[in-house]
Chains A and B, each alone.
Chain A
Amino acid sequence: MRIYIIFAIMVLAGCKKSFLNLTPISNSNANNFFRTRADFDLAVNNAYSTLHTMYNPQGMISYCGELLSDNATIYTVAGTGSVNANDKYAFRDYSITATNNQVNQFWNEAWTSLYHVNIVIDKIQDADLDAGYKTGVIAEMRFLRALYYYAMVQLWGDLPLITKPIPAGEAFAIGRSPQAEVYQLIVDDLKEAAANLPAPDRVAAPGRASKGAAKTLLGKVYLAMGDKIAAAQVLMEVYNDYGGKQYDLLPHYGSLWGPENSKKNTKESIFEIQYKGGANNPFSSYWPAFAPFENFSITRFGGGINQVTDDLYNEYEPGDVRRDTSFELGYYKGATWIATKFQKKWKDLDAPIVSGVEACNNNFIVLRYADLLLLLTEATGDAQYMNRVRARVGLPLYGTPGYPSVKYPTLELALEHERRVELAMEFHRWFDLKRTNRALTVLAAKGKPINQDRLLLPIPQIATDQNKNLGQNNGY
């Protein structure tokens, strides 16, 4: 009979409801997250970390900003993940198709990043937290959302408007909204962000979005929308409120670049992506990615991405120190000199090597004061702002006799030239050409097989297969 008792005990013991209620041991879970301020601090940090994806040297802003333009090329590259080398060559060659895996990866990265921003905005609405804190978090998130949507709208044109996490059912059917509506969302986000973000010197930590960053981006967006008056107004606010105070040009162009902490978050920086070198840290990899492919000499491996074209190299005026600050002409392999031009703005020769790649300390500047000055000239038609940029590097000012006005006869062309050399390899060139409607003219003249349709990327085939309502861009 004792056995029956044991049996009964085993049954009763096993029947405990908790036997089947197992919660994850090695992951926290979302059921009890998004409640406290500490939770939201972590979620906000994560939202910022998506900048590392969006501005990755192998990311969409890098590829489109430089590789689609006349600044950069690739000679030999390797595939990464599901992306093969040809998917990358297609950017250089303007032979991108809807089945290009690199395009699909960019599309995925953009929407995933956007989700991590949107979920914070969505979850904090109902959280029982201090209203001021909530407003501040929402403003930061809307800045990031605008930054991402602005890149995406330039790459794909019409886009689904996603402002909160959506269930799968909805995602299978949602269509694309016209570009104008996307731009309206960006403007709304940036206005809201500008109204609620702190002044540049009041941000919680360097790297957090500020009023200055939101307004500078808004100015640029207005320019892209063709509204120079609105652009001038908002850019002038930044210039007047912070110029010469929180923001200024550094005395030397070279002081902008380097892995040292002293080169990070300077006065010239308006919005800057933060990295920290070394193993187990969120390090940057611009240097190894942009180093010549498999050089096995200056870097452990070398990604071969965004190699500098002769066309860009020759764009510099004689005596422009920015050229030699920005580029290397080649490297030594043993005793052999290998001549090939590549960038050195993010050079970090002391970076520790982690899993075969340099774990660099360099930050990446998204918006800087020189950019703002050049945008001001673009918006106002007044060359004085641009001339401050030229003055820093000791070049003849526009409108003075020494200026190479034969080569750059109009202010527009002068500005195009100035942006190209000042902001070289900082992911601006192709976006600049698009914004100023110069992409077709300039790139076709340099032999790129470009037409109006090629100014947009295709919607990835896998996305249109899932959701026919997305439609496809012309020519794909």
Chain B
Amino acid sequence: MRFNLIKSGAFIALSLLSMAVTAQQKTSVVKGLVQNNNNMPLQGVSVVIRNTTNNFTSGTSSDSSGVFTFSRIPSGGPYSFTFSMVGYESQTLTGYQIKDDVTLSLIVNLKALPGSLDQVVVVGYGSQRKKAVTGSVVSVGFDQFKDRSFANVAQSIEGTVAGVNIITTQGAPGFGPTIRVRGINSITAGTNPLFVVDGMAMENFDLNIINPQDIQSIEILKDAASAAIYGSRGANGVILITTKLGKPGKPQMNLTYEHGLQKVVRRVKLMDAQEWIRYYIDARNNAWVASGPGRSASDPNSVRGNNKNYLIPEEFITDPGKFGKGTDWQDVMFRTAQSKNMQVSISGGTDKAQYLFSAGYLDQDAVLIDNFYKRLSLRTNIRQKILDNLTAGLNISFTGVHNRTDGVEGKSDVISLGLQNDPIFPVYNENGNLGFLDPNSEWNRFASFGVQLWHPYSLIKYADKLNKFYNTIAGGYVEYKPIHDITFRSSINAVLTQRNYNWFWRTNAGYGYSSLLPAEGRYQTYSNLNWLTENSLSYDKQFGDHSIGALVAYTAQKQRGDTSQQRSTNYPNDLVQTLNAAGTPILSTTTAGEWSVLSWLSRISYSYKDRYFINGTIRRDGSSRFGETTRWGYFPSLSAGWLISDEAFMQNVSFINNLKLRVSYGVTGNNQIPNYGPISLLEGSKYVYSDNVANGIRVATIPNPHLKWEKTNQFNVGVDLALFNNRLNVTAEVYNSITRDLLLNVPIPILTGFATQLTNIGKIRNRGLELSLSSKNLVQPEFRWTTDFNISFNKNKVLQLGPNNAPVIVEEWGSRFVTAVGEPISNYEGYIFDGVYNNQNDIDKGPKYPAGMVITPGDPRVRDVDGNGIIDANDRTTLGNAQPDFMAGLTNTFTYKNLELSFMLHGVFGNEIVNQQTRYNKFWNDSRNAYAAINNYWRSEQEPGDGRTFKPNAEYKGMQTQFSSYWVEDGSFVRIRNIRLSYTIPQHLASKTPFRNLRVYVNAENVHVFSNYLGFDPENSMYSTGTDAATANTTFPPGLMVGADYGSYPIPLTVTFGVKLDL
């Protein structure tokens, strides 16, 4: 039937494939069905047919209905059939004769292996049977994220893995989430895990570079014993990505098309023009009245002097109605955005050679106007057996991204500013310009009153930006088996990254910005080459009940990054934007940085009776980032497993199918600090003599020649349990980890000339409990229901800090983060906000405030924590922390015939957020707009509002702006993260199409958030500051300021429709 259609010429691609099938004289068809012991069809079973006399072989695999077909098998025989699939016992059927034009039909039942323990899990520098794993390794297969529509695979597994906290800090397309494995292990060094893509180890890697469609599996090494094989870079966990390779058999072609819609559903509620005008009038009247005796709110501007803070536009009082509701700037900024994602992959091979070719193109508009993300990804993976004992392979991938992403830089970027704009202004003024700074606009009358507008168009439509990013990852390897049981493997990998960024700000930006700036052009580049060579010898041998594995390897890795930056101004007009058109260069600079690592590593594993397992690893690393005498470190680990369920005494306990106990201990390191930490760097300065600029040189960093690794020792105990015919699988783990010699950018007294010094000092402890449950609730042939649940708890405590155990204090924009001994990293510290003073009597009864601080009714009341009757700095206390008490994820999947429905809930509990936007939107700040909730502010003793919102005052003198619990909000949330419905066209219908398999689905991400948070989303509450100087693009969120939301990019609701075709 299928071939009839092909003959009709409808599908060219398929015709091309069919050309590969050469005609035989006498052929026949073999059809079959593979199913499990419950007669459920099995998809993806590899089927190899072999004529045992002439060694003719061919291979295929079963489709979603369990059906496989060989269409042109030469007559004769005897033929044998081998069926294999991970998690099932292989089966070989022999002795079949094929007769001319007679279809041979087979039905095969494969037996599931208990608990899928023979499933293979990728671990560092090799793989292990799941049965033999003794550390804490989580494996996520392609099937678990195949229909999720994220460009970044990490977002697809958010909430599904216990102990792995994946946080979408910004909702912009292409913006990678933050990943934390088992809490925060470092205060000022990096906290990102190490990524290893097909063996290539990369720090601060951007997972957007890897097309999720190309990923076979993701393994997360959580405990130190598993990660210790990556030594100095394993302390934050290791994420291994393995890309796909074809299976022996007929070429498989997969096509996917997805169409998505995104929308910001959870908007921030702000005041409209009418509410804001009242707020404005009250703020200025309050300031005027407070500025001296005998002043009244009814005084006209003429007696209020020239202080802007006291002046009110006449029309606000006489005719506020004419402003209507004003402009909702979120309407101006956001849109419903479309995305298209096209994927094609071809894979296949023979026993000797396997391949995968894939291409993907993603074209995604952002919810923020004019922003977009386009990605082309191409991949070739090839593996060829050259000789019986020599195999070589090559993986090459190219990713090209063109994007424009505004709004992710927090407070001074368009999203934060968009929430601060005054609602009275129209989108365009009467001249077609944007703002009140247009001197010829009637709106210019407001310029002398101190109003605010950072028009989104001025930041987006009047600023042209384009980011171009190209990345190539290539890795080649040879594997040579000189004698049986010994494998020598040598590989070389390289990653080349190139980024160009153009920026052009047009003259005056349409008058829509807070000031009138000349045109300016910027051009930035960075290029980065990272190479790694690894050479290893491994030995695997079984002697009776004893099984031994050994590995030794030597690796060398080096990276060099080069950046350039140019800025120019004084453009004659806005027509030519490249820097050659500019009159005056204002910045032109290039920088470069390097790091290198040399390592020796070894692993020995031993098992007895496939029941007792022991693994030992050791790695020795030397890094250029550390002091000459301190740069080498050892990272050992030891782990053991006991498969209790295989013991004789357990054989009668029939409801337990699998019970395994794992214990591990290991040491890992963290090297994520700037490249030249031990060396005191110098930088230039300038002075002038006789009108000549004289160069100077200053010491820029305080040196530390003894700088070394941060080391984490972690102890892990895990239990794997399978019950009731493998219907219920449980994994529970507890761990205790201590990080010593913290690479702490210790704040030091400025009397040294420096504010911080990078030092190895201090200790942190992380303790946690993780539980994963997977249950097959219903296993009817027609109707199945599975539930996956995970929950994890992590408690973080600082045990020791720098000199005198002095707390590490970071103060930024009013807020204060304190890391102190005995407490978790980075507590928020400030006053406790206790509502509003309603009258003078309230104030008189309360504590005294610092000299010069005048408190009047309507002002905030803060708690006298130490009870000494005076409000001072000692009354600041802990207000919360960004680290959750626990996180949980729950996925339910229902399958009815060909229909599958799944939904996922994800919750984070017990964390707090510093809403930094409080500075702008939660109290009066220079005429900015405010949250609608602030409307309930104190107006008078008779109109006290909600008692929780103090009066606005254009010249606040009291506690209004002091960091207090007023800024801190509950960060707990429950999110309906995903709802997915997919339908596989039944085989009898699919067979009428050229496709073997046809599936359609609809996928909704971020469906709803249950949270009271005033900002866009409680999840995007990480404040990322600083960049890795070597790559200039990667953000390095320090452990110190987590939990502060400074106007992050909202996470949109995304609905995607997809169709997948296999042929």
Chain A positions within 8 Å of B, measured between CB atoms, are 3-4, 6-7, 10-11, 14-15, 19-31, 33, 39, 42-49, 51-52, 75-76, 78, 82, 84-86, 89-90, 93-99, 101, 107-108, 111-112, 114-116, 118-119, 160, 162, 165-169, 171-174, 204-208, 261, 264, 274-276, 279-282, 293-294, 296, 300-301, 333-334, 336, 338-340, 352-356, 449, 453-454, 461-463, 465-467, 475-476
Interface residues of B in 657-693 (CB under 8 A from A): 675-676, 679-683, 685-693
- Point out the residues of chain B lying under 8 angstroms from A173, CB to CB: 804
Closest-by-CB residue of B relative to A13 is B556
User: Could you tell me the distance in whole angstroms from the C-beta of A347 to the nearest C-beta in chain B?
Assistant: 19
**Cα distance, A28 to B697, chains bound together (Å):** 9
Q: Is A48 a contact partner of B696 (Cβ separation < 8 A)?
A: yes
Q: Is B681 a contact partner of A30 (Cβ separation < 8 A)?
A: yes
Q: Is A353 a contact partner of B596 (Cβ separation < 8 A)?
A: no
- The 28 listed contacts between A and B (C-beta, < 8 Å) are A20-B596, A20-B598, A25-B594, A27-B676, A29-B680, A30-B679, A39-B697, A46-B685, A46-B696, A48-B696, A49-B686, A82-B811, A84-B814, A95-B957, A115-B752, A165-B753, A207-B687, A207-B689, A282-B687, A300-B516, A353-B518, A356-B515, A356-B518, A449-B851, A465-B806, A465-B809, A466-B747, A466-B748
B593 within 8 A of A: yes
- Point out the residues of chain B lying under 8 angstroms from A160, CB to CB: 751
B13 within 8 A of A: no
- Point out the residues of chain B lying under 8 angstroms from A466, CB to CB: 747-749, 806, 809
Q: Is B698 a contact partner of A46 (Cβ separation < 8 A)?
A: yes
B1027 within 8 A of A: no
Closest-by-CB residue of B relative to A464 is B873
Best-surrounded residue of B757, B759, B814 (most CB of chain A within 10 A): B814
- Point out the residues of chain B lying under 8 angstroms from A7, CB to CB: 488, 490, 535
**Cα distance, A432 to B679, chains bound together (Å):** 45
Closest-by-CB residue of A relative to B600 is A11
- Point out the residues of chain B lying under 8 angstroms from A10, CB to CB: 490, 533, 535, 554, 556
Q: Is B689 a contact partner of A94 (Cβ separation < 8 A)?
A: no
Contact for A21 among B628, B926, B956, CB less than 8 A: B628
**Cα distance, A205 to B478, chains bound together (Å):** 68
B437 within 8 A of A: yes
Interface residues of B in 402-417 (CB under 8 A from A): none
- Point out the residues of chain B lying under 8 angstroms from A97, CB to CB: 850, 852-853, 873
Q: Is A462 a contact partner of B809 (Cβ separation < 8 A)?
A: yes
B631 within 8 A of A: yes
Q: Is A27 a contact partner of B682 (Cβ separation < 8 A)?
A: yes
- Point out the residues of chain A lying under 8 angstroms from B516, CB to CB: 296, 300
Q: Is B873 a contact partner of A98 (Cβ separation < 8 A)?
A: yes
Contact for B478 among A3, A171, A462, CB less than 8 A: A3
User: Could you tell me the distance in whole angstroms from the C-beta of A6 to the nearest C-beta in chain B?
Assistant: 7
Q: Knowing A338-B448, A354-B569 touch, does A30 contact B752 (C-beta < 8 A)?
A: no
Q: Is A463 a contact partner of B749 (Cβ separation < 8 A)?
A: yes
Q: Is A168 a contact partner of B757 (Cβ separation < 8 A)?
A: yes
Q: Knowing A167-B752, A279-B584 touch, does A11 contact B814 (C-beta < 8 A)?
A: no
Contact for B694 among A45, A95, A355, CB less than 8 A: A45
Stretch in contact with the other chain, from B233-241, B301-309, B727-735, B981-989: B301-309
Best-surrounded residue of A26, A95, A463 (most CB of chain B within 10 A): A26
Q: Is B594 a contact partner of A49 (Cβ separation < 8 A)?
A: no
**Cα distance, A355 to B517, chains bound together (Å):** 8
**Cα distance, A165 to B748, chains bound together (Å):** 13
User: Could you tell me the distance in whole angstroms from the C-beta of A279 to the nearest C-beta in chain B?
Assistant: 5
**Cα distance, A280 to B566, chains bound together (Å):** 12
**Cα distance, A6 to B448, chains bound together (Å):** 76
**Cα distance, A274 to B597, chains bound together (Å):** 47
Chain B interface size range: 35 or more
**Cα distance, A281 to B517, chains bound together (Å):** 20
B74 within 8 A of A: no
Q: Is A111 a contact partner of B698 (Cβ separation < 8 A)?
A: no
B107 within 8 A of A: no
Known: A45-B696, A334-B439. 4 other contacts (CB 8 A): A6-B490, A20-B597, A48-B687, A96-B852
User: Could you tell me the distance in whole angstroms from the C-beta of A52 to the nearest C-beta in chain B?
Assistant: 8
Q: Is A300 a contact partner of B750 (Cβ separation < 8 A)?
A: no
Q: Is B753 a contact partner of A112 (Cβ separation < 8 A)?
A: yes
Q: Is A301 a contact partner of B515 (Cβ separation < 8 A)?
A: yes
User: Could you tell me the distance in whole angstroms from the C-beta of A450 to the nearest C-beta in chain B?
Assistant: 10
Contact for B699 among A3, A99, A119, A356, CB less than 8 A: A119
B558 within 8 A of A: yes
- Point out the residues of chain A lying under 8 angstroms from B699, CB to CB: 30, 116, 119
- Point out the residues of chain A lying under 8 angstroms from B687, CB to CB: 45-46, 48-49, 51-52, 207, 274, 282
**Cα distance, A169 to B746, chains bound together (Å):** 11
**Cα distance, A461 to B806, chains bound together (Å):** 14
- Point out the residues of chain A lying under 8 angstroms from B490, CB to CB: 3, 6-7, 10
Closest-by-CB residue of B relative to A204 is B689
Closest-by-CB residue of A relative to B306 is A340
Q: Knowing A7-B535, A76-B450 touch, does A115 contact B753 (C-beta < 8 A)?
A: yes
* Binary flags per residue of B806-837, CB closer than 8 Å to A gives 1, else 0: 11010111100000000000000000000000
Q: Is B751 a contact partner of A29 (Cβ separation < 8 A)?
A: no
Contact for A339 among B306, B676, B807, B919, CB less than 8 A: B306
- Point out the residues of chain B lying under 8 angstroms from A85, CB to CB: 926
- Point out the residues of chain B lying under 8 angstroms from A114, CB to CB: 753
Q: Is B488 a contact partner of A3 (Cβ separation < 8 A)?
A: yes
B447 within 8 A of A: yes
Contact for A49 among B307, B685, B852, CB less than 8 A: B685
User: Could you tell me the distance in whole angstroms from the C-beta of B1028 to the nearest C-beta in chain A?
Assistant: 14
User: Could you tell me the distance in whole angstroms from the C-beta of B242 to the nearest C-beta in chain A?
Assistant: 24
- Point out the residues of chain B lying under 8 angstroms from A52, CB to CB: 687
Q: Knowing A10-B533, A95-B957 touch, does A24 contact B749 (C-beta < 8 A)?
A: no
- Point out the residues of chain B lying under 8 angstroms from A76, CB to CB: 307-309, 450, 926
Q: Knowing A93-B852, A300-B516, A466-B806 touch, does A20 contact B622 (C-beta < 8 A)?
A: yes
Q: Is A31 a contact partner of B517 (Cβ separation < 8 A)?
A: no
- Point out the residues of chain A lying under 8 angstroms from B681, CB to CB: 24, 27-30
- Point out the residues of chain A lying under 8 angstroms from B586, CB to CB: 279-280, 354-355
- Point out the residues of chain A lying under 8 angstroms from B439, CB to CB: 334
**Cα distance, A467 to B752, chains bound together (Å):** 13
User: Could you tell me the distance in whole angstroms from the C-beta of B757 to the nearest C-beta in chain A?
Assistant: 6
- Point out the residues of chain A lying under 8 angstroms from B306, CB to CB: 75, 338-340
- Point out the residues of chain B lying under 8 angstroms from A94, CB to CB: 852
Q: Is A14 a contact partner of B533 (Cβ separation < 8 A)?
A: yes
Which 9 A-B residue pairs are closest in the complex by CB-CB distance?
A115-B753, A46-B696, A95-B852, A45-B696, A205-B689, A30-B680, A171-B749, A14-B556, A274-B688
User: Could you tell me the distance in whole angstroms from the C-beta of A377 to the nearest C-beta in chain B?
Assistant: 33
Best-surrounded residue of A119, A264, A296 (most CB of chain B within 10 A): A296
Q: Is A208 a contact partner of B682 (Cβ separation < 8 A)?
A: no
**Cα distance, A52 to B286, chains bound together (Å):** 39
Closest-by-CB residue of A relative to B555 is A14
Contact for B697 among A43, A98, A166, A339, CB less than 8 A: A43
B539 within 8 A of A: no
Q: Is A42 a contact partner of B480 (Cβ separation < 8 A)?
A: no
Q: Knowing A31-B680, A279-B584 touch, does A168 contact B752 (C-beta < 8 A)?
A: yes
Best-surrounded residue of A162, A169, A462 (most CB of chain B within 10 A): A462
**Cα distance, A111 to B428, chains bound together (Å):** 49
Q: Is B803 a contact partner of A172 (Cβ separation < 8 A)?
A: yes
B755 within 8 A of A: yes
B623 within 8 A of A: yes
- Point out the residues of chain B lying under 8 angstroms from A31, CB to CB: 679-680
B313 within 8 A of A: no
Contact for B696 among A3, A14, A29, A42, CB less than 8 A: A42
Q: Is B309 a contact partner of A75 (Cβ separation < 8 A)?
A: yes
Q: Is A20 a contact partner of B624 (Cβ separation < 8 A)?
A: yes
B124 within 8 A of A: no
Contact for A27 among B308, B584, B700, CB less than 8 A: B700
- Point out the residues of chain B lying under 8 angstroms from A3, CB to CB: 478, 480, 488, 490
Q: Is B533 a contact partner of A45 (Cβ separation < 8 A)?
A: no
